[in-house]
Each structure stands twice: as C-alpha cells, then as structure tokens.
Structure 1
Amino acid sequence: MQYTSGIETLGLCMENHVSRPRLRNMWLGLLAGSAAVMYLGLVHPYLMELRYPPGATPLERFNDHSDTALWLWLQLLDFAGGAAAGALVAHWSPRASWRALVLMVVGVLVYTVFAELPHTGSVLRRTIWHLAVAAGVLCGGLLYRWRERRGAETPMRAVPADHVLDLPHTPAWQALLVMAICFGGVIAYSLGSAFGGSGVSGFSDRDFAAIIAQELLPACMALAVLRLNRYPLATLLPKPSWGGLGVGVMLYAATCLASTSVGLLLGEQPAQPIDEMMAQSHVTLYGLLPLALVNAAFEEVFLLAYLQRGLRRFGASNAIGIVILVRLLCYWYQGPVGAAGMLAMGLVFSIYYARTGRLFPVMAAHFVAGLLPFLSTLR
C-alpha cells in the first residue's frame, strides 16, 4: 500500500508541476523570438544550397530557386519557424500582452524589406517570401494566446515524459545482444565500406526498399527477444502530438546549427563519400517517404528509448556516449565529415531525450533530417 501511495504521489507532483516561466517580460519575449528567427535564418541558406552544384553563381541560385518546389517547401519551413518564434514570444512575454508580439512581427517585416529578394517576376511569390515568417509569428503568437486564455483557470502543466513509471534498466548482455541484432550488419557494412576501399554508388528506390526490409526484420527479432525476457514493450512507444511536430522542427534546426558549426571547425575538406553517393542517387517520393519514416522510428526507438534510457544507471554521460558511438559506427561510411555531422546530430538528440524523456519530437526531427537532403535527387 505504501508503494502504491508513493507512485500516486509522484504522479500528482508531475501533474501539478507548472511549466510557466517565473520571469516574463517583453524583452525576454523578443529575445526568445529573435533567437528562433536567427536559427531559421541559418537553416534556410543551408537547405537552399542542397539544390545547387558547387560553383553556382548567386544569380543562378535565385533564378532557379524561386521557380522550384523546393522554394515553396522552404516557405512552409519559414512559416513553421515563424510560428515557433511567435509561440516563444508569447510564452516569455507578460500574459495577455501583445506588445512583444507586434514588435516581433514589425521587426520581421522590416528585415524582409531590406533583404535580397529572389529574382522572379511573380508577384505572388514575392508576397509569399515577404510574409511567410511574419505570418508564422502572428499565427503562432495568436494560437498561444488563445490556448493561454482558454486555460486561464487551470495552471499550465509541463509535458511529461512518455513513460514515467515502470521504466526497466537494461542488462549489459541484453543491450549487446539487441544492438548486435539491430545494428551489427549495418556497422559491418559501414566499416567495410570506409576501410575496404570499395567504390561508392548512389541510392535508388530499390536500395531504399532493401534498407527498409533490413531494418524491419532485425526490429522484429529484437522485439521478440525483449518479449521473451518480459521487457515492457509498451514503454518503447512514443506519444505523438501536434506540439511534438513543432518541437521536432526546432530540434532539427538545432541539429543543422550544430552540424554547421562542426563543419566550420573542420574547415574545407576534400569530397566525401556521401557527396558522391548523393550525386549518383535518383529516387522518388514513394521510396523516400517510407524510408525516412521507418529509419527514424527504428533508430530512435532502439537507440534512445531502449539503449540510452536502459543504461541510465551508469550515468547520463556514459549512456549518451554509448549511443553516439553506435551512431558513428553506423554512419562511418559517409566519411569523416559526415560522421562528425552525425555526432553533432546524435548529441543534440540524446541531450534532448535525456532532459525530457520525449521520443516523438526526436523521431520527427530525424524524419525531416532523412527527407530533406534527398529532395535534390527526386525524379
């Protein structure tokens, strides 16, 4: 009875935990929103460069960029990033105050007036380019204020981890077995490609289908092993939410910033194997979307929800280090630069999961990370 009462007390404490910041003022709201817009400004050029070969002139980039589907996708990203910025402005500014939100919208509009426009004669595209971020800021702030007003009588609660109670610790032998089943073949291929001197080839829909099968089959085998050992499989499941999608987009932006920082530290490098593979790749959305979805779920469920969380008794830093090591070994075939970028992405994912316990935003960010680089290879 005392054990049950303790669990109930823990649940009540989590339910009553208030996530509203203690200090809220206009300047904090503007600072938070500006930081989000700056992240967006760093991600946008990085994604835009994926469309063009090295050496393309600015005029060539703008002319082609404004007439492609990628440009429209980037405007949607701008709108989503603006919505996240608007929500941050409303979250950190005084309750029911609109000054910070209005100033943020005006500041974004002024910035776009003086920024360089794409070279296109379409008035509609120019208008979309001008208003995408500002409209996102306004919509995000309005939505946050509406939800805040709707729940004015009840305190805002922190989003709990996916699973709070009954989280098992993973025995070392079991972790080794599951990792060998799930990632042993991938690691062997990755190291063989990196050190064996074999030539690289691009990706195709047939390759993507093979990769999906190579992930689903080991996943079923690993889950069967865990089931035989009475592991609570339900604790591996994420809890999807619309808010988690928004957090995933911001998390992906953070991984882009971290990867870009690592690239700047490494300096100019010769052509990497992953660059040659992407140049030779020709895929379709029918092959790309399932792969991005399956790969995101497969890796994050077994690396974060199972391995990192299960090894938490050894300390958060040790658990994160083991997970990052597995990621590096799996992606070593991409070359040193690609592996360094994967290290940065894995570090962001692991730290976020260690602090929040939420898996779905990480899966959403991984899905975007697996989808966007291949947009330039679509046929």
Structure 2
Amino acid sequence: MTTDWLIACLMGLGKLFLHPLLYVSIAYCLFIGYLRVKRERHDFTTKIYSFSMELRSMLPQGLIGGLILSFLTLATGLAIPLAAMPIMAVVTVLAILSMKKRFVSPVYTMGLTFFILFFLYDRDIELTLFQDALNQLDRSVYPTLVILMGLLLIAEGFLIVANGSKKVSPHLEVSKRGQPIGVYVSQRVWLIPMFVMIPGGQLPAPFEWYPVFTIGDMSLSPIVLPILIGFKQKVHGTLPELAIKAQGKKVGALGIVITVLATVGYWYPPLAIITVVLAILGREFLHHSQKAMDQKLPFYFSKSKLGVQILGVIPQSPADKMGLQKGEVISKINGVVVREEEELYRALQINRAHCKLEVIDNNEQIRFVQRALFDGEHYELGLLFVDDQLKESGQVG
C-alpha cells in the first residue's frame, strides 16, 4: 500500500511538467522581471537585480509549503472535485492577465472556483472540455475547497514573511508637492505544487493509470495540483522589511481564522459559503488598510537634513561590501560634512584610495565605516539616492 502511494505521488509529480500553468508561471515571472529591470534602468540608469530574480524565487520557497500541505491533504484524505482543477487553472490565467498580482492568490482563484462550481451544479450547461468532470459533481457546496483555501492562505502569509521582503526593488516617484521620493516595491510569484485527493472514479481516460485507494467507504486518488500565489506591496512610509513582514503575519492570521471556519463548515455546508465571502473581504481589507496606513505616514526615503540618505544599495557593490543599508544617512565622508549628493562626490575625491564614512543608522545611532577604494570605485560605490534636483529619474552613487 505504501509503495503504491509513493509511486502514485512520484508519477503525479512528473505530471507537473505537463501542466500548462507551470509554463505560464515561468513566462509570467520573466515578464515581471523584465518590467522591473526596465523601471530600474529608467530610475537609476542601471539594473539592481537580474531579470530572472522573480523566477529563481518562484519554486524553491513554494516547495516547502507544497510538501507540508501535501502531507496534510494526503493524511486527512481531503478531497476536491475533479472539475475544480481546470476551472481553477482558467481562473488563475485570467487573474494573471489582469496584471494585478494580488488577484493571483488562492483567496480569489479558489474562492471564484468555489462559486463557479456552486453556479454550475445541476444546471443544463454544455461545456465541451469540462463536461465529463461537471457531470460527476455530486453536491452544490464543497467545503473541502474552502478548507484548502484557508490552508493556502496560511502558506501565503508564511511566504510573504519569509521571502516577500527579500530583494525588494526601489523606485522613484514624485509626491503631490512635486518632490521626488523613494518607495519600495515587493512583487513575488510563488508556485506551490501539492497533492490533493479526488474521488477515484472521477478520473477520465488520460489519468487511468492512477491507482485508486479506499479510505472508509470512499475511493480516492492523489493528483498533483499547482497553485500560483501572487503578491505585490508598495511601501514608502517605513522600511520595507518591517511593513511587508507585518502584512504577511496578518495574512497568515486571516488564514488561520478561515481554516477554522471552513473546518466547521465541513459539517455545516452553508457556513462554507459565508467563509469564502469573509475570506475575500478580509484579504481586500488587509490590502486596502495597509495601503491607507502607509499613505498616512511621512515619506521615509526623501531629502534628509542630517546628510545624504541611502535609498538603496546595489548587491555585490563596494557599498554592499561595506555593510551600508537602505535608509541610513551618510553625514560625513573623510571628515567632511555632506548634505547634498554633489558634496558627497566631492568629499570622496579628498582621498581616492580610501574613504571613511560617518553613518547614522536606522536606529539613529552613529557608526563609522571605512574601506580602501580601487580605481574607479569612488565613482561607482553602488549607492542609490533620491536626488532633489531630479524629478523623473535617479542617480547612481
């Protein structure tokens, strides 16, 4: 029995590479990376991260969540109807085409799938591609879909906390008063490949090789289901790491509440419908409340009276190796007080072989940083600034 399960799971995992959503996800990540690099070059005349950065973070983080969720679904025998799979894939593609990354979330994709199944149940509607799966729907409400949505919402919160604040991209905008300000944009796409159970008798001909297992009086088959999770958050009122992790914790907490309600709804199906509505409204509330809260805060990255504030640091640059961080303020270079970007460059010329910086960190503590410079490095430290002389573009330090 155990061997059959393992063989079924391995064969199912291989089917992931035949799923069109995998390749749609790859193309989506590359497109997001292309747009980000284009924006970075426009703002700072250089790219900050590789255009494949989003692609490289898509699957590794999602595999952990997929492994945990697969264990839970296989251990509990959590089954979803076969019809949910193609409908969810179509809904996910439509969410991608909307270019709103937050809509590529299980709250919206699975929530909409739930209501589509509810609408299609026992109706005389002909859908050629999905007709066999729709004919096998045996109920109007599937609480297991809502339970799975809650679990995926918890996974989304975990991914936001663990990965959403890494390698965030700086961006330049103009405030309502016409002053350039710095903002940070986090955008991620995670693919969670996980196993779910579907009623064994529902598998059509292309899947006849799947083994059928019996749990109680129910026949079930494991099948791999790729879940795409999209995330985007813009931050201008605080350090992005703080704001993004706080948002991820709220999303995870919402997922716990939804999972509890969905579990109760397993025995009281009408509650499942209410739970889906609450999940969508809750996720919308978290998005808009975070946006409103951030807009009320003063601009974190703007012109500073204490010196020249660092908007960003290019990876592997001299500034990165010196340990300089976004949000810190350079108040002195080689003993010279600096308040403008031009003053910073002039101060660097005092000693072209070595620079000593007095930095006010994000805890408002003064620290000293020094490093030997090689030819050309005093022109390319790898620092990004918000230059009050520029309205539409940035400058690399």
After TM superposition, the score normalised by the length of structure 2 is 0.23
Greater strand percent: which structure?
A: 2
Q: Which has the higher contact order (CA 8 A, sep 6+)?
A: 1
After TM superposition, the score normalised by the length of structure 1 is 0.24
Task: Indicate the structure (1 or 2) with the bigger Cα radius of gyration.
Answer: 2
